Amino acid sequence: MVSRRFAIEATQLRKTFGDEVAVDGVDLQVPSGHIYGFLGPNGAGKTTTMRMLVGLTTPTAGTASIAGAAIEDRDAVRANVGYLPERPPLYDELTAVEQLTYYADLRGVPDAEVDDRVESWLDRFDLLEDADRRIQDYSTGMRQKVGLVQALLHDPPVLFLDEPTSGLDPNAARTMREVLTELADGGTTIFLSTHILPVVEELADTVGVLDDGTLVSEATPGELTSRAEAGTDWSLEDAFIDITTDREGEVTP
φ/ψ of residue 91, rounded to 5: -95, 115
pLDDT class of 228 with cuts at 50, 70, 90:
low
End-to-end CA distance of the chain: 29
> With pLDDT > 70 as the criterion, what percentage of the chain qualifies?
92
pLDDT over 60 (residue 2): no
pLDDT over 80 (residue 143): yes
Please name the fold of domain 6-90+156-245.
Rossmann fold (3.40.50)
Task: Return d(Cα 79, Cα 158) in angstroms, integer.
Answer: 10
Tell me the chain's radius of gyration from C-alpha atoms: 18
Structure confidence by residue, pLDDT tens digits, 161-215: 999 998 899 999 999 999 999 999 999 999 999 988 999 999 999 999 999 999 9
Query: pTM to 2 decimals?
Result: 0.91
Mean pLDDT to the nearest integer, 91-119: 96
pLDDT over 90 (residue 225): no
Structure confidence by residue, pLDDT tens digits, 19-35: 999 999 999 999 999 99
Mean pLDDT to the nearest integer, 101-111: 94
pLDDT over 60 (residue 9): yes
Mean pLDDT to the nearest integer, 76-99: 95
Mean pLDDT to the nearest integer, 137-163: 96
Closest CA to 38 of 222, 243, 200: 200
pLDDT over 70 (residue 231): no
